[in-house]
Copies of this chain bind each other. A is one copy, B any other.
Amino acid sequence: VEFAVTQVNFVLLGFGNVGRAFARLLLAKRGELRQRYGLDWRVVGIATGRHGAALDPEGIDLEAALALAEAGQSLASLSPVQVPATNLGLIRASQADVLFETTPVNYQTGQPAVDHLRAALEAGMHAISANKGPVVHAYRELSDLARARGRCFYFESAVMDGAPVFSLWREALPGARLLSFRGILNSTTNLILTRMEEGQSFKDAVAYAQSIGVAETDPSGDILGWDAAVKVAALATVLMDRPLKPDQVERQGIEGLTAAVVAAARAGGRRWKLVCQAERTPEGVRASVRPEEVEVGDPLFGVMGTSSAVTFHADVLSGLTLVEENPGPQTTAYGLLADLLNAVRG
């Protein structure tokens, strides 16, 4: 069977858990992407945080790159040409069609991801990010730039991993106006609260979340509600078209919740959850992150462990809830793939 196939070249910035899961997903879906979407891909550039970089206009052997990174070795041996000294240089030299940005988030500035995405768009690439920093710090700028260049700036994985929160509104709910939303957007604190319900102390629950790679060595970004606040800001900025910065989100973390308080709620048939909310006001958006006792009938009551959820209230839909269970790096990787397919199919 013959059909039209488009060759697209990718450059990957970041090759950690998410970047590597995306590489594996690309390999697993190679045949399907060719057959269902007429898409043939090559990775022509990879920049990693700790394993060097590679550039090959003919296409890098992605399985070899995965093997090297997982063995803790440099990718330099996969590069037949000189690799530029900076990530921006690598992006430009790659002449790729699509940039995938999965570098670590910087809550304060969104950098260096913002610069990476801008460079890609300026070079005529689609810019796809799993990073929420650029969404809260540069959504308008990067979206306007993308539109001017006829390219896409997409970031489905930035909130709720691969669950389609942004594309739901962009693609599936035209003509609806989002009035408010309420959800559980931080997996780490939800897992900690779940473990505390099961009888663990706050400290032990944090240690458990760290032991399975869900919480970071310094877990304060999650526990104090900053990660949740950034996600609320990202959703409000994009879905309500109201630029909102994380420090404009009223914020309270779960650091004050003790095992006794959590147990008392359970004894009363309720549960503590770190609840994220935002609603339109005449002046803009009012948003908050704070622990709340939720009742059994609440759509957030059953969201346990690392699962997440959001309920949308729109002018035309009184309550639409999206729940994502058991996400992982492969789910985030799917968000990047969905963005790619939505970008290239126009």
Contact = CB atoms under 8 A, between A and B. Distances in A.
Contacts of A325: 299, 311, 318-321
Interface in A166-194: 167-168, 170-177
Contacts of A167: 171-173
A317 interface: yes
The residue in A298, A304, A319, A341 that gathers the most chain B C-beta atoms within 10 A of its C-beta is A319
Nearest to A326: B318
Interface in A307-342: 307, 311, 316-327, 330-331, 333-334, 337-338, 341-342
A259 to B, nearest CB: 21
Contact of A304 (B297, B334, B338, B345): B297
A254 to B, nearest CB: 21
A302 interface: yes
Contacts of A324: 317, 319-321
B302 A175 contact: no
A331 B342 CA distance: 26
Nearest to A321: B323
Contacts of A321: 321-325
Interface stretch (A31-39, A91-99, A125-133): A31-39
Contact of A168 (B172, B311, B318, B327): B172
The residue in A171, A322, A330, A334 that gathers the most chain B C-beta atoms within 10 A of its C-beta is A171
Contacts of A298: 302
B302 A331 contact: no
Nearest to A334: B316
A25 interface: yes
Interface string A7-43: 0000000000000000001000100110011000000
Contacts of A299: 302, 323, 325
B342 A162 contact: no
A107 to B, nearest CB: 27
Contacts of A261: none
28 contacts: A25-B316, A29-B175, A37-B174, A164-B168, A164-B172, A167-B171, A167-B172, A168-B168, A170-B172, A171-B171, A172-B342, A173-B338, A174-B342, A176-B334, A176-B338, A296-B302, A298-B302, A299-B302, A299-B325, A307-B319, A311-B325, A316-B331, A317-B334, A318-B325, A318-B326, A320-B322, A320-B324, A321-B324
